[in-house]
């Protein structure tokens, strides 16, 4: 498979995987840790959406499904397809507990991307495409234009019924 095309498709798969799991686990509903509150309100001040800001803040402050997706991809690449993802899931769980985060988003993200990598390996996707794809996916959320990204995340949260009740 063409490398650029593979990376682009892997980026889309990773983006959908971690945004859906994080929203489902309630990241936009409120700051899981205190630092996420500061980042969320700063994004809102610059013209963004508060729920999307909390989502971005939670990603920075604790290993969530985004971290689980990246680390499980690295584990599958360097260790092996099912066992690397499982080791990554355990380490992400430790990270979650160290950050005093009650959620299990990181572990769920790591396990789901392990299944996706296993299934897509049959149609010619290499595991390294998912590593680069995940970095590109996080770049679109955290690195290009924060107010715009937070408004998009807020819309997704609203559709899934997970929009924040805080003001």
Partner 1 sequence: MLIEILGIIVVLMALRTLVAQNRSERLLYLNVIGFSMSAIIGLYIQTPFGAIIAITFFVTSTLSSNAIAYSLGRVKEEIMVK
Q: Which of residues 10, 19, 21, 39 is near partner 1 by CB under 8 A?
A: 39
CA distances for 44 relative to 57, 90, 161, angstroms: 11, 34, 20
153 is a contact residue toward partner 1 (CB under 8 A): no
- Rank residues 26 and 85 by Cβ distance to partner 1 and give the closer one: 85
DSSP assignment of the chain, as one string? Answer: --HHHHHHHHHHHHHHHHHHHHHHTTGGGS-SSHHHHHHHHHHHHTT--HHHHHHHHHHHHS--HHHHHHHHHHHHHHT-HHHHHHHHHHHHHHHHHHTT----HHHHHHHHHHHHHHHHGGGT--HHHHHHHHHHHHHHHHTS-HHHHHHHHHHHHHHTT------
Q: Work out the number of other CB atoms within 10 angstroms of the CB of residue 50.
A: 20
16 is a contact residue toward partner 1 (CB under 8 A): no
Q: Which residues inside 53-92 make contact with partner 1, applying CB under 8 A?
A: 56-57, 59-63, 66-67, 70-71, 74-75, 77-79, 84, 87-88, 91-92
Q: How big is the site for partner 1, counted in residues (CB under 8 A)?
A: 48
- Rank residues 25 and 92 by Cβ distance to partner 1 and give the closer one: 92
27 is a contact residue toward partner 1 (CB under 8 A): no
- Rank residues 74 and 156 by Cβ distance to partner 1 and give the closer one: 74
Q: Which of residues 86, 128, 148, 152 is near partner 1 by CB under 8 A?
A: 128
Q: Which of residues 5, 139, 159, 166 is near partner 1 by CB under 8 A?
A: 139
Note the residues at the interface with partner 1 (CB under 8 A): 3, 7, 33-39, 42-43, 46, 56-57, 59-63, 66-67, 70-71, 74-75, 77-79, 84, 87-88, 91-92, 94-95, 98-99, 128, 131-132, 134-136, 138-139, 142-143, 146
């Amino acid at each position: 498979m063409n490398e650029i095309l593979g990376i682009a498709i892997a980026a889309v798969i990773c983006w959908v995987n971690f945004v859906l799991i994080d929203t489902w686990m309630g990241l936009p509903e409120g700051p899981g840790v205190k630092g996420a509150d500061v980042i969320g309100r700063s994004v809102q001040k610059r013209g963004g959406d508060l729920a999307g800001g909390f989502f971005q803040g939670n990603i920075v402050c604790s290993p969530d499904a985004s971290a689980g997706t990246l680390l499980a991809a690295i584990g599958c690449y360097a260790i092996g397809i099912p066992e690397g993802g499982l080791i990554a899931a355990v380490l992400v769980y430790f990270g979650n507990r160290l950050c005093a985060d009650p959620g299990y988003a990181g572990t769920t993200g790591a396990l789901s991307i392990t299944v996706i990598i296993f299934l897509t390996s049959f149609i010619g996707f290499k595991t390294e495409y998912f590593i680069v794809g995940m970095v590109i996916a996080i770049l679109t959320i955290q690195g290009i234009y924060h107010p715009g990204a937070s408004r998009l995340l807020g819309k997704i949260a609203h559709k899934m019924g997970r929009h924040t009740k805080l003001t």
